């Protein structure tokens, strides 16, 4: 199973540029997780809603042009899965009206999978938004643990909006304590690992440096590789041996984020 997560920063823009089509043609993912889709299904083209190759599911924000996530499953796989559910909330998590969660739960080859596309809050708008971000983190980890305890295989992909360690950000000293690299956010990442989850890319690439997934649009940051690694896949550490490949697709344009591909 080839799964790709990508914050597209506007799915209609990624389609208009032809970059979403390029990704699908080049990588042909079995499951595609998208964040910041920024729209409602009735605003999207047939390519984005009735694609001949994918079953497509959307979780949209009530606010027009804001946030939103999506999850696409290749039809050849979808026909073989059972007990499919598409869910758009995490129990008790805030920001329920912002379309931040696309969650597919299904049975495949006698195993129950939970695959999440999540766009975590930034938290920088206000003190209330910061508190809601930390609360969102907590409820997400609790739900991951709960599903794992039920014997499910849980795969969480998306824009986590936090760089975990100094190696995950080009300018750690300049950003120390700022939102996105705040001790409370980084501590949550520590606790995710302590709870038995793996940052899948770092798990397989413990010594890699200067690998990022987001760059500001200002000052040629991407060309200079002055970025942050804030897009991840989480998988249970005991299941990490199922990963045959994981890589950031740095050549993929169309967004201020690059996609992350995992093959399980």
Say if residues 85 and 41 touch (Cβ distance below 8 Å): no
Strand, coil or helix: 179: coil
- Catalytic-role residue among 46, 80, 131, 159: 159
pLDDT at 130: 97
- Whether residue 9 contacts residue 37, with contact meaning beta carbons closer than 8 Å, is answered with no
Specify whether 190 is catalytic.
Answer: no
Task: Provide the 8-state DSSP code for 214.
Answer: B
**Tokens (6 digits) for 167:** 């190696």
Q: List domains and CATH numbers for the chain.
A: 2-263 (3.60.10.10)
The answer to whether residues 253 and 18 touch, using CB atoms and an 8 Å cutoff, is no
CA-CA distance, 118 to 161, in Å (whole number)?
A: 10
Half-sphere exposure for 260 (CA within 13 Å, toward CB): 25
pLDDT of 128-178, one tens digit each? 999 999 999 999 999 999 999 999 999 999 999 999 999 999 999 999 999
Checking phi first, is residue 36 left (phi over 0); if not, alpha (psi -120 to 50) or beta?
left
- pLDDT at residue 55 is higher than 90: yes
Query: Tokens for 261?
Result: 């591909």
Residues in the chain: 264
Helix or strand holding residue 54 (H, E): strand 54-59
Is 0.85 topped by the overall pTM? yes
Beta bridge partners of 119: 159
At residue 221, φ and ψ (nearest 5 deg) are -60, -40
Residue 64: is its pLDDT beyond 90? no
Question: Which pLDDT band holds residue 89 (cuts at 50, 70, 90)?
Answer: very high
> Rounded mean pLDDT of 1-10?
98
Neighbours of 178 (CB within 10 A): 10
- pLDDT tens, position by position, 213-254: 999 999 999 999 999 999 999 999 999 999 999 999 999 999
Burial class from Cβ neighbours inside 10 Å (0-12, 13-18, 19+) for residue 34 reads buried
């Amino acid at each position: 199973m080839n799964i790709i997560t990508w914050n597209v920063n506007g799915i209609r823009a990624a389609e208009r540029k032809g970059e979403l089509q390029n990704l699908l043609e080049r990588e042909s993912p079995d499951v595609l997780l998208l964040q910041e889709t920024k729209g409602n299904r009735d605003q999207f083209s047939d390519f984005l809603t009735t694609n001949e190759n994918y079953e497509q599911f959307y979780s949209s924000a009530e606010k027009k042009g804001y946030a939103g996530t999506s999850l696409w499953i290749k039809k050849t796989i979808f026909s073989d899965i059972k007990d499919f559910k598409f869910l758009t909330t995490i129990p008790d998590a805030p920001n329920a009206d912002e379309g931040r969660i696309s969650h597919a739960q299904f049975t495949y080859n006698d195993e129950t999978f939970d695959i999440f596309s999540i766009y975590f809050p930034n938290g920088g708008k206000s003190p209330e938004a910061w508190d809601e971000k930390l609360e969102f983190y907590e409820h997400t980890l609790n739900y991951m643990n709960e599903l794992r305890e039920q014997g499910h295989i849980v795969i969480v992909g998306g824009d986590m909006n936090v760089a975990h360690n100094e190696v995950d950000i080009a300018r750690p000293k300049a950003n120390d304590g700022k939102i996105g690299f705040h001790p409370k956010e980084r501590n949550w990442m520590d606790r995710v690992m302590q709870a038995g989850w793996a940052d899948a890319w770092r798990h397989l690439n413990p010594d890699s440096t200067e690998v990022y997934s987001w760059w500001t649009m200002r000052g040629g940051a991407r060309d200079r590789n002055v970025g942050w690694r804030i897009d991840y896949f989480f998988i249970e550490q005991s299941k990490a041996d199922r990963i045959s490949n994981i890589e950031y697709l740095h050549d993929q344009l169309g967004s201020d984020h690059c996609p992350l591909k995992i093959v399980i």
